[in-house]
């Protein structure tokens, strides 16, 4: 079995890898993917484990949203840059495996179901981005099958299966891209177009997802000139526009009311930053730091919103801490906050987004603040935070 093989390889791996399972599955998967062993057999075992761990990710797909950056949906969308969602990790593992063991990579790709996220309601601003899956499908169709398999039509059946399962706006955006960019025979093109037309007609109305996928129309542009496609496209648009559009962002916006808004106003009063800290300015910084530490619940915001607002306030304090002593006090508190935050397990991608910001060389501390952050993580952080420092993943 692959897992015992991977566990056996841990004996000869870097010391930090012994602690890999102390981290949430998606962080462990990213660490493995970014530190692949040069040895081919070890690399294959690591990729198998990446694929397995990624299937447990709390954020299954990267998200997009038409929402302000300072909103819960805006932070979820920003978190996609951590590359800790399950789809991104699994696709990367397959793509890499194709260069290590093509047969196994193909089997992994075929085992990956067409992503079928639940339809987002009007109270959800974020919709999934599935383009990585369809990009993988295009790569597989072009060069992932052997000559004999292509002769038997396996690659075409693979694409037709995917397109037939793609009826939501998010899926159709990827399916249209697949059909448009695949260059096959006239017979293959006709079969793919017919499948796409059928899926367009079968699409159920979803105002939030429809509004979030404007690129679908651009992908469909050249395809609509093909026989039967314009009628299928118009049927899709009619279905989607028949439903009442969603109103508002569908996501809580930060700083509008509640304790968070009061603290944001207090942080604004720290301006302007003096050229040299005096006792009064230091007292104002520390007073706000204490209020941020006490800020744990907010009637106007769900827990993840409070997590992001507290994180933002910590970053404001750090940017206003103009002495090493102030920096150390703010960073020490910030480290403890992230160590104990439920977000580390509930939404590792969003937690990592904040952790990485904490240890950026931001002004006025620069690299000196990064050194303090490392020291405070060693002193007061946990195994996950130390693992990220040991591997350089957070930098």
Q: Give 327-364 as a 3 state SS string.
A: HHHHHHHHHHHHHHCCHHHHCHHHHHHHHHHHCCCCCC
- Same domain for 210 and 96: yes
pLDDT in tens, the chain (395 residues): 445 556 655 555 678 888 899 999 999 999 999 999 999 999 999 999 999 999 999 999 999 887 899 999 999 999 999 999 999 999 999 999 999 999 999 999 999 999 999 988 888 888 899 999 999 999 999 999 999 999 999 999 999 999 999 999 999 999 999 999 999 999 999 999 999 999 999 999 998 888 888 889 999 999 999 999 999 999 999 999 998 988 876 788 999 999 999 999 999 999 888 888 788 999 999 999 999 999 999 988 999 999 999 999 999 999 999 999 999 999 999 999 999 999 999 999 999 999 999 998 887 888 999 999 999 999 999 999 999 999 987 66
Domain end: 193, 209, 241, which one?
241
- 246 lies in some domain: no
- Same domain for 219 and 278: no
- 172 lies in some domain: yes
- 5 lies in some domain: no
- CA–CA distance, 205 with 144 (Å, rounded to integer): 34
- 329 lies in some domain: yes
- Same domain for 275 and 183: no
- 4 lies in some domain: no
- Same domain for 216 and 88: yes
pLDDT at 4: 57
- Same domain for 111 and 199: yes
Structural domain count of the chain:
2
pLDDT at 272: 87
- Same domain for 266 and 232: no
pLDDT at 1: 44
- 371 lies in some domain: yes
> What is the residue range of 379's domain?
258-391
- 27 lies in some domain: no
Rounded to the nearest 10 degrees, the angle between the axes of helix 383-391 and helix 25-34 is 20
Two tokens, residue 260: 């968070």
- Same domain for 274 and 148: no
Domain end: 241, 275, 290, which one?
241
Beta bridge partners of 253: 71
Domain end: 185, 209, 241, which one?
241
- Same domain for 214 and 359: no
- Same domain for 110 and 70: yes
- Same domain for 276 and 171: no
pTM of the model: 0.91
**Phi and psi of 360, rounded to 5°?**
-75, 150
- Same domain for 231 and 267: no
The burial class, CB within 10 Å (0-12 / 13-18 / 19+), for 202 is middle
- CA–CA distance, 228 with 223 (Å, rounded to integer): 10
- 342 lies in some domain: yes
- Same domain for 69 and 118: yes
Two tokens, residue 146: 């052997």
pLDDT at 7: 60
- CA–CA distance, 187 with 159 (Å, rounded to integer): 14
- CA–CA distance, 240 with 245 (Å, rounded to integer): 9
């Amino acid at each position: 079995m692959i897992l015992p093989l991977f566990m056996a390889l841990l004996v000869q791996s870097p010391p930090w890898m012994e602690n890999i399972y102390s981290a949430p599955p998606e962080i462990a998967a990213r660490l493995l993917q970014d530190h692949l062993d040069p040895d081919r057999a070890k690399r294959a075992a690591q990729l198998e484990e990446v694929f397995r761990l990624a299937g447990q990710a709390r954020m299954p797909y990267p998200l997009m949203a038409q929402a302000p950056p300072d909103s819960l949906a805006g932070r979820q969308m920003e978190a996609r840059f951590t590359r800790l969602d399950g789809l991104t990790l699994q696709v990367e593992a397959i793509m890499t495996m194709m260069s290590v063991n093509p047969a196994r990579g193909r089997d992994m790709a075929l085992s990956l179901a067409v992503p079928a996220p639940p339809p987002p309601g009007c109270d959800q601003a974020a919709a999934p981005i599935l383009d990585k899956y369809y990009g993988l499908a295009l790569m597989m169709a072009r060069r992932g099958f052997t000559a004999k398999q292509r002769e038997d039509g396996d690659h075409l059946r693979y694409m037709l299966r995917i397109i037939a399962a793609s009826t939501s706006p998010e899926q159709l955006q990827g399916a249209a891209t697949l059909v448009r960019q695949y260059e096959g025979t006239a017979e293959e093109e006709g079969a793919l177009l017919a499948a796409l037309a059928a899926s367009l007609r079968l699409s159920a109305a979803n105002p939030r997802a429809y509004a979030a996928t404007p690129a679908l129309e651009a992908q469909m542009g050249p395809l609509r000139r093909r026989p039967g496609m314009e009628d299928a496209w118009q049927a899709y648009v009619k279905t989607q526009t028949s439903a009442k559009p969603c109103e508002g962002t569908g996501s809580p916006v930060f700083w509008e009311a509640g304790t968070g808004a009061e603290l944001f106003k207090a942080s604004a009063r720290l301006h302007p930053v003096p050229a040299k800290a005096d006792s009064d300015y230091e007292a104002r910084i520390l007073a706000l730091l204490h209020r941020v530490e006490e800020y744990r619940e907010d009637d106007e915001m769900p827990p993840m919103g409070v997590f992001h607002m507290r994180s933002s306030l910590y970053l404001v304090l750090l940017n206003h801490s103009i002495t090493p002593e102030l920096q150390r006090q703010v960073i020490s508190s910030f480290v403890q906050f992230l160590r104990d935050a439920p977000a580390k397990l509930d939404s590792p991608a969003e937690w990592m987004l904040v952790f990485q910001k904490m240890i950026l060389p931001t002004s006025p501390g620069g690299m000196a603040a990064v050194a303090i952050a490392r020291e405070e993580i060693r002193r007061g952080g946990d195994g996950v935070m130390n693992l990220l420092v040991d591997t350089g993943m957070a930098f």
